[in-house]
Structure 1
Amino acid sequence: MAVAEESHFGRAAARLDMAQPPLSQRIQRLERELGVRLFERTSRQVTITKAGKLLLEEARELLARSETLMATARRIRNGESGLLRAALPPDIAGETVASLLTDFEQRHAGVELELQELTTTQQLTRFASRELDVGLIHHPCDVSGLELGPVLRRELGVLLPRDAAAARLDEVPLSSLSAYGLILFPRTGAPALYDDVLTTCARNGYTPPVIRHGQGASFVRGLVLSAKAVAFSPRDAQPFGSTGPDGDLVWRPLAGAPLAWRHSVAWPQGNGDAAVNAFAEAATGALRTTTAASADTPPRPLHLRPSAEFWL
């Protein structure tokens, strides 16, 4: 990895704190073991081959896993509980992440936190394979085999072009959006939630003529402005920095508050140790203080029967 990033054996050797000849020999030995040529060498430069590029990401993952293993071993050797593997969904704002990390450090400074950005589906898969200790998930979803913290609710509004007719309303009925397509996260990230959103829209008079998938701020903003489409978002997310008085987008609450994101911290049953509890308390507290999240009252089902009521 060092040779690939430096494109120079001398610089890579210096970075690795070793002499250049042993590094060249180790690269040659690795090439023989793998049966592929990793670098093309001339007297002036080193260039990674196509095979080397394909293997580079695998090498990075192997190194990351080895570092995780060593960190866990250090924690166990020192009598601590080790590494906590945690996850948050992609739609959590930076202020919430920062608040969570600060609170967790204060609650459980002795644990090394490995925080990842994973969708609900990815988190459920990693819970099942024991590759994740705790995470913040979206409901509804399959919660079998999991323990949950408090379910919090964040009301959704709609993001519109400023010149849209519905933008002049104080509250927007879903039925008034019939002429607009909908920008929604990819269904694979949280299938039951995706179906729940579309079911709620249909029951309130809005069946989107087109559904476009996107999550990145700039991408969603571009679609709202140019594709005659709208997106749903909590007020605290104020999507993408263009909803102020002089912006080209507006955010409006939905009439009757029919839609909401519902979150809770989740972890495999029987694995709720002190570190997991500290993360759950930090995440719940961060959502309460940095967003408009409140208790899900009255509570709604955490999964749907059947798993999908509504398809487009």
Structure 2
Amino acid sequence: MTVAEESHFGRAAARLGMAQPPLSQRIQRLERELGVRLFERSSRRVTITEAGTLLLAEAREVLARSESFRAAARRIRDGETGLLRAALTPDVPGETVAALLAEFRARHAGLELELHELTTAQQLAAFAAHELDVGLLHHPCDVTGLELGPLLRRDLGVLLPPDSPQARLAEVPLAALTGYDLVLFPRDSAPAVYDDLLTACARGGWTPAAVRHGQGTSFVRGLVLSAGAVALGPRDIRLASAGEADADLVWRPLAGAPLAWRHSAAWPRGRGDTAVAAFADAATHALRTVAGARPEQTGRPLHLRPASEFWL
């Protein structure tokens, strides 16, 4: 893997902390064992062959599964008194987090849970770096190399200023939001979800006048109250400041429920031991019973599309 990334035996050896001749000998021995040529060598560079390219993805998966196997063995050896590194996206409500933790601890009281608040993009990066055991993702995203729990849907509504005409409607058509800016999370936290939402808005007849980016509850609330903007969120969203009533913002469902957060638990393929399964089950149960999520039935893709349909 390192030789393929560096395309140079010297640089690869330096990264691996070893001398170059033993590295070359190991590659040659591997080629003999596999019966295929992995690299073409010249005096200036090393080029991976077609066979090497096809086997590289398998090599990465073998390495990841080896590390997962060792981690699972350590937890078994210790009677599951190890460490589980888990993550939730920032939009998961506090009540849901509390329910998830209570159920997980009831099933695995001896396991230390290291819980992080990470965006989907941050979780994917942590999975790739082998720094995360299980997480709760937004879809669509790149699920290559991951196993997934049940796909759940939380319908999104719109947060409006209380004096807006749309606040008087029982359900708000997307087209009725024409003229409003949209307050949305920064794109780099979940690029495919961001593009998917804007595409769905455009299909529903609303192209926001501008997209403003914000995640902090006070900041988003301020934009909605004073800047001619609206925000999207599920029914259980909380944007009132401490000590203030929720009535300073109005939440209304969208007509036809065209927008939703789509979640599932995720973990590296082959890493689904009992602790990971317990966290995934607890997350799924908490989302359904506390956050009002329901199974997704539309068959929408979980993988990234080749290109975004929506362009700013």
TM bucket (normalised to shorter chain) is: 0.7 to 0.9
Q: Give the alignment's TM-score, normalised by structure 2.
A: 0.73
DSSP-derived class of the 1:299 partner: coil
Aligned residue-pair number: 240
Displacement after TM superposition at 1:291 (Å) = 1.1
1:1-312 aligned at under 5 Å gives the runs 78-80=78-80, 82-240=82-240, 247-312=247-312
What per-residue deviation string (whole Å, max 9, x for no partner) do you get for residues 112-159 of structure 1?
100000000000011011000000000010111000000000000000
Displacement after TM superposition at 1:307 (Å) = 3.9
Counterpart CA distance in 2 for 1:199 and 1:246 is 30
Structure-2 change in CA distance of 1:106 and 1:246 (3 Å): closer
What per-residue deviation string (whole Å, max 9, x for no partner) do you get for residues 257-279 of structure 1?
00000000000000000000000
Q: Give the alignment's TM-score, normalised by structure 1.
A: 0.73
Identical positions, percent: 69
Amino acid at match of 2:232: F
DSSP-derived class of the 1:235 partner: coil
Which residue is 1:44 aligned to?
Answer: none
Counterpart CA distance in 2 for 1:80 and 1:175 is 53
Which residue is 2:43 aligned to?
Answer: none
Q: In 2, are the aligned partners of 1:88 and 1:117 still within 8 Å (CA)?
A: yes
Amino acid at match of 1:164: S
Runs of at least 5 residues in structure 2 that lack an aligned partner in the other structure: 1-71
Counterpart CA distance in 2 for 1:141 and 1:221 is 27
Displacement after TM superposition at 1:83 (Å) = 0.5
Counterpart CA distance in 1 for 2:305 and 2:149 is 22
Q: In 2, are the aligned partners of 1:160 and 1:251 still within 8 Å (CA)?
A: yes
Amino acid at match of 2:188: T
- RMSD of the alignment, in Å? 2.1
Q: In 1, are the aligned partners of 2:240 and 2:248 still within 8 Å (CA)?
A: no
Structure-2 change in CA distance of 1:246 and 1:142 (3 Å): closer
Displacement after TM superposition at 1:304 (Å) = 3.6
Q: In 2, are the aligned partners of 1:96 and 1:286 still within 8 Å (CA)?
A: yes
Which residue is 1:14 aligned to?
Answer: none
Q: In 2, are the aligned partners of 1:223 and 1:229 still within 8 Å (CA)?
A: yes
Q: In 2, are the aligned partners of 1:120 and 1:138 still within 8 Å (CA)?
A: yes
